[in-house]
């Protein structure tokens, strides 16, 4: 555009001919942006990751933990310095945390309000809520060890599911007699029904699911990260809204999951 204007002003330099009029600018194509899922704010809740360094005799410490309390604190301070230096707390928790439940999940403890914070973690509750999202606590002392806590963004997931239990599954009632293989086969058959044209997920869940959410059509509502069984949560976060999962096994049995649209905070 700039060279066209220069030629119009300096005809001699452009061969003495009048420059043709520039064509009108073309209209940009009309596009429809992809919808962006809403991001809700949950100011009264905190998501927290932890790395725990236990000492011999600390509450719940494994028999393999032999360090003294003094050594545990020193180790926690060393690990904190590594995080401050740029290492990822989640990665360190997987390799160095003594917390059997949260360690394998990258230290993910869960998402809580002050009132729902688990009593065993009460010593770290107020320091966690005092943190800004993304920041790291000082080394904190709890009955089960020295703790590094990091406040993470609150992210919630809305799902419903159908659950098929089997003998030995967690919380399975005594009248459940099917084997694990039989439960998987039944879950696969239910999934096929759920994927059929016109299938009513809620109605199938009310009739077939084997947990307390059945009366709500399998709807678990909005649940923060870290509060669902790890395999369930990992599978559900990979789903698009409206998508139905493959059969997912957890300690509770076999699930077929549908991800639903997010709900705003109450």
Select the more confidently predicted residue: 76 or 21. 76
Q: What is the mean pLDDT of residues 20-39?
A: 52
β strands within 119-192, DSSP E: 140-142, 145-152, 156-164
Q: What is the mean pLDDT of residues 137-147?
A: 98
Domains plus CATH for the chain? 45-152 (3.10.50.40), 156-259 (3.10.50.40)
Phi, psi of 247 (to 5 degrees): -65, 130
For residue 24, name the pLDDT band (cuts at 50, 70, 90). low
**In this model, does residue 14 exceed pLDDT 50?**
no
**In this model, does residue 1 exceed pLDDT 90?**
no
For residue 43, name the pLDDT band (cuts at 50, 70, 90). confident
**In this model, does residue 259 exceed pLDDT 90?**
yes
* C-alpha distances out from residue 234 to 74, 209, 231, 237, 239, Å: 34, 20, 5, 6, 9
């Amino acid at each position: 555009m700039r060279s066209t204007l220069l030629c119009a002003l300096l005809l001699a330099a452009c061969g003495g001919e009048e420059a043709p009029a520039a064509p009108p600018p073309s209209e940009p194509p009309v596009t429809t942006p992809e919808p962006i899922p809403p991001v809700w704010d949950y100011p009264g809740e905190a998501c927290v990751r932890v790395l725990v360094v236990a000492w011999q005799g600390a509450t719940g410490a494994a028999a393999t933990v032999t360090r003294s309390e003094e050594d545990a604190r020193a180790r926690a301070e060393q690990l904190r310095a590594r995080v401050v230096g740029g290492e990822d707390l989640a990665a360190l928790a997987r390799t160095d945390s003594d917390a059997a439940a949260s360690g394998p999940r990258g230290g993910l403890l869960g998402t809580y309000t002050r009132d729902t914070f688990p009593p065993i973690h009460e010593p770290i509750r107020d320091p966690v809520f005092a943190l800004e999202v993304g920041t790291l606590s000082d080394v904190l002392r709890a009955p089960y060890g020295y703790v590094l806590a990091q406040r993470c963004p609150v992210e919630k997931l809305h799902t419903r599911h159908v659950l098929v239990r089997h003998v030995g599954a967690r919380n399975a009632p005594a009248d459940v007699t099917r084997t694990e293989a039989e439960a998987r086969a039944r879950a696969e058959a239910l999934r096929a029904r759920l994927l059929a044209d016109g299938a009513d997920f809620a109605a199938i869940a009310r009739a077939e699911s084997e947990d307390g959410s059945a009366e709500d059509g399998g709807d678990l509502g909005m649940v923060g990260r870290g509060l669902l069984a790890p395999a369930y949560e990992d599978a559900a976060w990979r789903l698009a809204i409206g998508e139905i999962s493959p059969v997912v096994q957890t300690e509770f049995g076999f699930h077929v999951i549908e991800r639903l649209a997010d709900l705003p905070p109450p």
